[in-house]
Amino acid sequence: MIGILLVAHGDLAEELINSVAMIMGRVPLLRAVGLHPDQGLDDLQNAIETAGAELEQGGADQLLILVDMFGGSCSNVAARLVIERDPGRVALITGVNLPMVLEAAIDRDLYSLPDLARKVVEAGKKSVVDVRAVLAEKLR
């Protein structure tokens, strides 16, 4: 199974997991790593590596890493880890939001890691909607 690792500033990653649980219950092989003000980048790297290893021990044979912001510390540290590894085994996507985590959790048994990564990017893009504009169009 594809393990899912969320990495974000503050408690966002942890709380995304709680939000996912509200919608679809507890999900296996889903972990969070937070970057807090007292942590350096080495700490963050260690935390990501540890969480990744724990997911592997739990049965994950591939890893989808979802981070909060492209170009931020979480993304930069994770990128260094990902680039050294096989693209079929580790994927890294930025801009994580709730629909992306749900998509990853629901469809991970149906797709290969590269395909799942594409589905997750698509879910994220589709989830950003100017509601007033859409409603104005539909109610016209």
- Pick between residue 2 and residue 35 the one whose CB is nearest to other proteins: 2
Alpha-helix residue ranges (DSSP H) falling in the chain: 12-24, 41-57, 73-83, 98-107, 113-126, 131-139
CB of residue 95 to other proteins, shortest distance in Å: 19
CB of residue 24 to other proteins, shortest distance in Å: 5
Binding site for other proteins (CB under 8 A): 22-26, 102, 106, 131, 134-135, 138-139
CB 7, CB 66: distance < 8 Å? yes
- Pick between residue 23 and residue 41 the one whose CB is nearest to other proteins: 23
Q: In what order do the strands lie in the sheet with 30-35?
A: 30-35, 2-9, 62-67, 90-93
Phi and psi (nearest 5°) for 9?
Answer: -65, 140
CB of residue 69 to other proteins, shortest distance in Å: 24
CB of residue 124 to other proteins, shortest distance in Å: 15
- Pick between residue 37 and residue 139 the one whose CB is nearest to other proteins: 139
Q: State the chain's maximal CA–CA distance in angstroms.
A: 54
